[in-house]
Structure 1
């Protein structure tokens, strides 16, 4: 909880702006008018085009053989640097021997997808909230592909 509260203050979102004359409107989400914007709202709950498109692209790239895409949550995003997925057994004989091994490659992919997508959502949101810049679906897709590559 401390990390979450610190993030909200560090990144100057939500109630932070209520104390600054002429900037009070920045406390609200510029897309859905959420009364007090939070990091969780920005990354997960807001219905803006950018966030929905980025998580959709991320979900599509996830290899299905490693299970379903984990729905992002604020805890998953903040803790993604420590994620480690169990290795998938190749056959019945390997199941017992490899059940505790970790798959470094797929865990790394998940960490990259979560962290880079969340950061892109954040940077696009800042452009929209501060400068009023809007993004097309094509622009969002290109930026996400460049980020992931």
Structure 2
């Protein structure tokens, strides 16, 4: 699972994590190095400002971005492997992947 979500250099992973990073950077916060443990533990994350006060909006956004992105990568991987049977002609285009990610985040 770690390979599929993080290490795989597929178009799906690249497009989704790039979109996630771009959205997160709009919040003017630093993008973390995404690891498997980041995904598994993201619901435990509590982001704070420089004074130590909890940033509830940023924390919620972080959780949504990470979890929805990981879920979509897994879901599209299953479609490629099971539904499409590895037929590369049926794989999702970058535009389709990005549109599915936007839909998931909204």
Q: TM > 0.5 between the two? A: yes
Q: Which has the higher contact order (CA 8 A, sep 6+)?
A: 2
Unmatched runs of 5 consecutive residues or more in structure 2 = 85-89
Equivalent positions of 1:37-76 (< 5 A) are 39-62=1-24, 63=26, 65-66=28-29, 68-76=30-38
> Is 1:105 aligned with 2:69?
no
Aligned-residue CA RMSD in angstroms? Answer: 1.2
Unmatched runs of 5 consecutive residues or more in structure 1 = 1-38, 89-98
Which among 117, 125, 128 is matched to residue 69 of structure 2? 117
Regions of 4+ moved over 3 Å: none
CA displacement at 1:64 relative to structure 2: 5.2
Instruction: Give me the TM-score of the superposition, normalised by structure 1.
Output: 0.64
Equivalent positions of 1:1-149 (< 5 A) are 39-62=1-24, 63=26, 65-66=28-29, 68-88=30-50, 99-132=51-84, 133-149=90-106
Query: Contact 2:27 / 2:58 at 8 angstroms: preserved in 1?
Result: no
